[in-house]
Structure 1
């Protein structure tokens, strides 16, 4: 009997700005990119929508809550994640003002005002640029 097809894993990423334009970033607690800045996000669980996964991952990694404002895009380049082929659905999320602190696999989380000067993990700089363009 033939098994299920081998397919990419599904992930989500969240772009969240505060009122001053600072970007919510985590410091990755694990490889790949341990210690680097990244957008909050992670793997979609079976039984949840990508929107639910985005808000769950945001809460787990940063303590923040919000609402999905809009889809930024789908990022599917096979080499975007060194762990293997992962496809990410990225959302712009409107933050509700809840306190932010690192959790789950994030070493820390904070709104970073000089985010443009930081190197972001994965293809997260492209995702942020697309969010700003309204892609």
Structure 2
């Protein structure tokens, strides 16, 4: 297997370059007997669970709180881990690994940042088409919730 190498900016030595998946978070925000889905402003377009990339030096939990606030204008609480999703094809832009949380929020949600719009959907009436692997995530959430595991 051939490896890519970079030049060290300090000494000029060849340094092996590693390609790693990008960490992301997604947050299932429970509010008013439903969950919030955003309509994405950027590609891939469509309905999605709020979320995004983890910043360097940021914990997964802090990234979840930040992304929820940036995209829905809500402060979340009661953050619970649903699971991790790592299929290399889950995002056509790059290989990502998402840590998915469920959380509660109160207030009036407002689309912001990467969200063109948002809607509160009852679990029984989700849009047919969802971005990424969010259908699988929401199916897992529904199953775990019915079993009392989240």
TM-score by length of 1: 0.89
Indicate how the Cα distance of structure 1 residues 46 and 115 shifts in structure 2: closer, same or farther if over 3 A, else same: farther
Structure 1 residue runs without a partner (length 5+): none
Number of aligned positions between the proteins: 131
SS state at 2:91 partner: coil
Alpha-carbon displacement from aligned partner over 1:4-57 (angstroms, at most 9, x marks no partner): 42100010000112242x22010000111x2x1100000000111001101100
CA distance in 2, matches of 1:67, 1:3: 42
**Residues 77-116 of structure 1 correspond to what in structure 2 (within 5 A)?**
77-95=87-105, 97-113=106-122, 115-116=125-126
Are residues 1:122 and 2:122 paired? no
CA distance in 2, matches of 1:112, 1:87: 25
Structure 2 residue runs without a partner (length 5+): 1-13
Cross-structure match for 2:26: 13
CA distance in 2, matches of 1:3, 1:102: 42
TM-score by length of 2: 0.81
Name the structure where strand makes up a greater proportion of residues. Answer: 2
Cross-structure match for 1:39: 49
Superposition misfits of 4+ residues, deviation over 6 angstroms: none
Are residues 1:70 and 2:80 paired? yes
SS state at 2:31 partner: coil
Which one has the largest radius of gyration?
2
Indicate how the Cα distance of structure 1 residues 18 and 83 shifts in structure 2: closer, same or farther if over 3 A, else same: same
CA distance in 2, matches of 1:117, 1:103: 20
